[in-house]
Amino acid sequence: MATSSTADARLVHESGHESGHESGHESGHIAAGASIAERHEQARRLLHGGAIDEGLTILRGLVAVAPRSVQLRRHLALALHRSGRHTEALTALVDATDAHPREVSLLEDVAALAQRLDDRVTVASIRRRLVAIEPSPRRWQQLATACRRAGDVDGERDAMVGWAAADPGDPIAAHLAAARSGRSLERASASYVTRLFDDYADAFDDHLTELGYRAPSVVAASLARALDGGVAATACDLGCGTGALGTLVRPVVGWLVGVDLSSRMLERAGTRGYDRLVQADLVDFLAGHTSSFDALLSADTLIYLGDLVPVFAAARAAMTRSRPGVFVFTLERDDTAATADVGFRLGRSGRFVHDESYVLDELAAAGFAECRATHEILRHEGHDPVHGLVVTART
């Protein structure tokens, strides 16, 4: 079975080109004193002509005679893989790494084939060996991914910590290391959020559709209920992203501003009905716009803030004083004792989860009235629902 993977391409290169030889089964006898090169050539011809078992027998014999030959071991693995004996091919490559434990390209071949066979434990094992040889940020990140897919929670945590140590200036590594380690943070750094969503912008809408993402629609529905047929003269979408919420609320708001840290996200939001788009931290933006908005909206943005006191205070100050206003937002919910002390915690996902009573109490303390929360499934991750709060507060 011919393939086009990187691992297969390397195997073909290392084992010699398999085209250009005459076809047809070759049972021609090679003298007992034939060289390894001659026997290898015979195996190639047999395999090319369809005599798979005969060719494999010769290759296995050659590997036994010359166990340190990477070329022979790769050719054996390739022949097994192409003949549909994928597990045997993987075993042959793993055996080759035992003979050459620091051959990086060989280890990469094993990881690539194991991944294609969905052998997650082997992928993680090989990634761990590669980190030991080359403890670079890329290797640590690959190991973290492999451990997560293999269900190795402790291994993923240790790999994340290793990644952060190998690249202390990387905000993604630092934040995820904290999340996997259970460390307490008050909020995600601006550099983390910016980098995360700049990288995510192109695939964002498609990915969230796959996850059954509902946060924008539930916020829009809550706003419509709160307005009860009216229109908000001025509104701000805090963390507008690609503008999914803006499209939904446009019919019930007069002037609509979108704020986000990610320039790439704002580029995508540019055609979705906003009157103004601003690249800024949402707390800083609100602090600079006292008494400016009738409605503040946020769909899955405050999940990157743990301590909500600063944003609630800034939001209350940004609401117009001359007429009633409404603040609608979503959070991820956590009713466990893990949040009892401070009302929030950083989850393994890198997002914060909040206790409902903490949220409602702090809104009231900031000067909001009629604060209420409903429970919704905001999206799914894998087969698991993400439980959320949809919060509405008035001034």
Q: How far does Cα 264 stand from its chain's mean position?
A: 18
**What's the pLDDT tens digit per position in 269-299?**
998 889 999 999 999 999 999 999 999 999 9
**pLDDT-derived band at 14, boundaries 50, 70, 90:** very low
Q: What is the longest distance spanned by two Cα atoms in the chain? A: 101
**What's the pLDDT tens digit per position in 300-312?**
999 999 999 999 9
Residue 20: C-alpha distances to residues 50, 71, 80, 222, 323 (Å)? 15, 19, 21, 69, 83
Burial class of 84 by CB neighbour count within 10 A (0 to 12, 13 to 18, 19+): exposed
**pLDDT-derived band at 265, boundaries 50, 70, 90:** very high
**What's the pLDDT tens digit per position in 373-391?**
999 999 888 788 999 999 9
What is the distance between the alpha carbons of residues 158 and 168, in angstroms, rounded to a whole number? 15
Q: Residues of CATH 3.40.50.150 domain(s) within the chain?
A: 194-394
pLDDT at residue 205, as a whole number: 72
pLDDT at residue 340, as a whole number: 53
What is the distance between the alpha carbons of residues 242 and 206, in angstroms, rounded to a whole number? 11
Q: Residues of CATH 1.25.40.10 domain(s) within the chain?
A: 6-181
- Percentage of the chain modeled with pLDDT above 70: 90
CATH number 3.40.50.150 given to 194-394? yes
Is the full-model pTM beyond 0.95?
no
CATH number 3.40.50.1980 given to 6-181? no
pLDDT at residue 293, as a whole number: 98
